[in-house]
Amino acid sequence: MRLLFIGDLIGRPGRKLVADVLPRLREDEGPFDFVVVNGENAAGGFGLTERVVDQLFDLGVDAITTGNHVWDKRDYVPRLMEEDRVLRPANYPPSCPGSGVKVLEKGGRRLAIVNLQGRVFMPAIDCPFRVADGLLERIDTPCVFVDFHAEASSEKRALGLYLDGRVSAVVGTHTHVQTADEEILPRGTAYITDVGMTGGHGGVIGMEASSVLPRFLTAMPTKFEVCEKDLRLNGVVVDVDDDRGLALSFRRVDRRLS
């Protein structure tokens, strides 16, 4: 199977990129069996709304992963109990709304999407390593894609090596800067430290520089504004062996708005 994963989508510019670039990617890199996007910043740069989620599904997205900003739009949080194609990190406490794993089925193929969040420089939640172990005991398909939403490159690399040979891919999100370390690990798991960002690359990790710089210069709170300059879609394409669940090929995507 072939999977396209689109890195952290930032606000309206990110949604515009998906609408514009995804059809071209389907022609150049597809056909894709599944398309997954990290959408935790899709609504104005912070969180999700029902309208934004519906728009992404209408564009052909099969599932949406998130991270620490999943709770930012409080009105959407209850919907996590109803729409299982929108994931929240699985290592939040079980009492939190939503789920961190979803098995997608299409054309006779089955792919499990697992969403985890790191703990280094992030909120104190359950151990992603042990939570991953528990999930893998229950998932009944060898094809498993992991979005690890984490700050520290060391923690991301560690989880990639820990799960090598047990999942199809471990990709990092959250830092919004695409890294150049994509590889297939020794036991067959595709890995990259960070997939990157889908939005305006002309500012500071998706936000206008003019709204971010005052916070660094004065240490006072400022309201961030979504950047609309240098629009680019970052992602990865992974080909997976249906029977073994291991990666056959793995490559980065970096496309500009047409």
CATH number at residue 90: 3.60.21.10
Q: What is the distance between the alpha carbons of residues 97 and 26, in angstroms, rounded to a whole number?
A: 33
Q: Could you tell me if residue 258 is inside a domain?
A: no
Q: Residue 16: exposed, middle, or buried by beta-carbon count in 10 A (0-12, 13-18, 19+)?
A: middle
**Among the options 1, 22, 56, 69, which is catalytic?**
69
- Residue 174 known to bind ligand: yes
Residue 150 falls inside a structural domain: yes
Residue 9 lies in a domain: yes
Instruction: Flag whether 149 is marked binding.
Output: yes
Domain membership of residue 153 (yes or no) is yes
Is residue 234 marked as binding? no
Number of folded domains in the chain? 1
Does residue 69 carry a catalytic annotation?
Answer: yes
What range does the domain containing 226 cover?
2-253
Report the predicted TM-score, pTM, of the whole model to 2 decimal places: 0.96
Residues 10 and 43 sit within 8 Å (Cβ to Cβ): no
172 in a domain, yes or no? Answer: yes
In contact, 40 and 67? CB cutoff 8 Å = yes
- In the chain (258 residues long), the average pLDDT of successive 10-residue segments reads 97 96 93 97 94 96 97 94 96 96 96 98 96 97 98 98 98 98 98 98 95 94 93 98 98 92
